[in-house]
Each structure stands twice: as C-alpha cells, then as structure tokens.
Amino acid sequence: MDGVGTPLSFVLTGGEVNDITQALTLLKDWHGTHVIADKGYDSNGMVAAIEQRGAIAVIPSRSNRKQPRELDAHVYKERHLIECWFNKIKHFRRVFSRFEKKAKNFLSFVYLAALLIELR
C-alpha cells in the first residue's frame, strides 16, 4: 500500500512505548520526498535521519525548541489523511477492542483490516 495517507507498514509495541522509538524502523526501507509527522517526532536525530535519506522533514517544532524549524504548512495539511485512515481502522471491532490476546494475531488482523480499507 503506498497511497498518500495509507500506512506502508506497521510495528506493534506496548501502549507505554513512545511512537518515535519505532520511527526509524518504519523508515528503514522507505524512499520518498517528504516525511510528514506531528510534534511527537520532532527531534534532531529524527530530522537528520530523514534528511540523510534525501527527504524533507515536515514536522512542526515543539514549543520548547530554541530554534524552531520552518514548516511547509501546505504540505503539512496532508497529515490529516493518515488521521482519517486511523479513524477508518477503528471501525473494525477486533482492532479497537483488541480481542486478540497474542500480538501476532492482533497485528495480522490489523494488516487484514488495512487491506480491506484499501480495497474499498
């Protein structure tokens, strides 16, 4: 799946794990021109990793950043597409209720639900 706003892959972690810890894992085999993310991904290391791949980091600066980076607001508006996608996947009861006890089974159903959303 590679449409704008469609996840390319998933990494399942515990609920207490910060999202940025898995960001580089998700970007490992990714090739593109822009990485659009929210303020939670604003770190010097993350921006540097994105720029090493030849992409542009479209991530708003956190309020406590001493030197805020410029943000292309027009491109950042596209982030709503992934938020809409997460809203769609929550319509699947097995995802939002986490019926599956094992992580492998849950992640398999997330992939199945993603496929069904993509085929609509």
Q: Against a cut of 0.75, is the pTM above it?
A: yes
Whether 49 maps to a domain, the answer reads: yes
Whether 34 maps to a domain, the answer reads: yes
Domain that residue 43 falls in: 19-119
Whether 7 maps to a domain, the answer reads: no
For position 5, what pLDDT does the model report?
67
Alpha-carbon span 2 to 115, nearest angstrom = 12
Alpha-carbon span 97 to 120, nearest angstrom = 22
Whether 8 maps to a domain, the answer reads: no
Q: pLDDT of 32-79, one tens digit each?
A: 889 999 998 999 999 999 999 999 999 999 999 899 999 999 999 988
For position 1, what pLDDT does the model report?
40
Whether 72 maps to a domain, the answer reads: yes
Whether 12 maps to a domain, the answer reads: no
Q: Which residue has the higher pLDDT, 1 or 100?
A: 100
